[in-house]
Amino acid sequence: MSKEKKKPIKNKIHSRNKNKDRYDLKALSKINPQLTNYIKPNIKGEDTIDFTNPTAIKTLNQSLLQYYYGIKNWNFSDDYICPSIPNKADYIHHIADVLTESNFGSLPLGKNITCYDIGMGATCIYPIIGVTEYHWNFIGSEIDETSLLSAQAIVNANDSLKDKIACRLQGTLKDFFYGIIEKDEKVDISICHPPLYSSLEEAQKGVQKKNAPYSLSEIGSEIIYDGGETAFLQKLVKESKKFSQNCFWFSALVSKQSNQRGMIDFLKELGATQTKTIPMGIGNKSSQIIAWTFLSKAEQIDWKKLRWTPKKTTSSQE
């Protein structure tokens, strides 16, 4: 990017986020000339893009992935919502901090770490960022087979992602870990961005209120769940308890403030040994990451020794 000092987007953005400065549209346009079609001056004469134009948003985020993460092939149907790279990256950086705090201040890196993305979506965005930034392995589940095939196609089209991301079809709508995580399989942290709305009508009102640049004709399953975010989180927490020995940390990105306090109380009722609440917000969005574990202190120490501590190599003497 240009050496000119950029004004931060917002002070809540994570310090390791590659997009903590404003977008350098000129630099991005050099690697993706298609972006120039959507650049225009704002009322101050500064270059910007039309954030109400879905094609412009998708082209911008494709450019960001190519420039910062080396992902040249990130193609998916326009029927799906295009994620905001800075927002998604922040979640990954914050859960990396959670692992760091559990590992005596040392960030676990590489293939020893497995992250499970519940509902990875057609864009495969969280695994892409996690693999690129921290070299973790990922499991990604998806209830919609078309979305899963889209994510798998992205993995196949980028050499840096191959053998790093396992795309698995969830055959049962009500399950999150069952049917995906094997009996003896270990996951260091799980992530999840729950659907926000309980019905198409509620979603339509929310989309209109936010002036979102997409319709609900094709993407309803991404943001709608029977009972909304509240029901989704309750089911997620209950099922996580049954996989307490398979996963060190569980986490979810919680949008509604009414669910944040209730979720912490529910976790304590179920016997969570630790919970963490991490504020996160970029632009007009404000959410909280809630992370929890059921492992005792002794179990946590054993987990670190078995999975995170580098194995010492010994050389035989002649």
Mean pLDDT calculated for residue range 190-216: 62
Q: What is the pLDDT of residues 258-267, one digit of tens each?
A: 888 899 999 9
Provide the residue ranges of all domains of the chain, joining segments of one domain with +. 79-308
Q: What is the DSSP string of 205-238?
A: HHHHHHT-SS-STTTHHHHB-TTHHHHHHHHHHH
CATH of 79-308, one of 3.30.1200.10, 3.40.630.40, 3.20.20.140, 3.40.50.150: 3.40.50.150
Taking CA atoms, 126 is separated from 28, 70, 100, 310, in Å, by 21, 15, 19, 26
Higher pLDDT, 190 or 206: 190
pLDDT over 60 (residue 210): no
Taking CA atoms, 289 is separated from 12, 190, 213, 266, 317, in Å, by 13, 12, 25, 15, 51
Q: Which of 164, 167, 178, 194 lies closest to 255 in space, CA to CA? A: 194
Phi, psi at 61, each rounded to 5°: -70, -30
The helix/strand/coil state of 83 is coil
In whole angstroms, give the CA distance from residue 29 to residue 277. 38
Residue percentage of the chain with pLDDT more than 70: 83
Q: What is the pLDDT of residues 30-78, one digit of tens each?
A: 999 999 999 999 888 889 998 889 999 999 999 999 999 999 999 999 9
The helix/strand/coil state of 289 is strand
- CB contact at 8 A, 289 and 233: no
What average pLDDT does the chain have?
Answer: 87
CA-angle at 42, arms to 17 and 4, nearest 5°: 45
In whole angstroms, give the CA distance from residue 235 to residue 45. 49
pLDDT tier for residue 175 given thresholds of 50, 70 and 90 = very high
Bridge partners for 262 per DSSP: none
Q: What is the pLDDT of residue 316?
A: 45
Q: What is the pLDDT of residue 142?
A: 95
pTM (global) more than 0.75? yes
Lowest mean pLDDT among 219-223, 233-237, 240-244, 272-276: 219-223
Lowest mean pLDDT among 30-34, 195-199, 211-215: 211-215
- CB contact at 8 A, 277 and 264: yes
pLDDT tier for residue 16 given thresholds of 50, 70 and 90 = very high
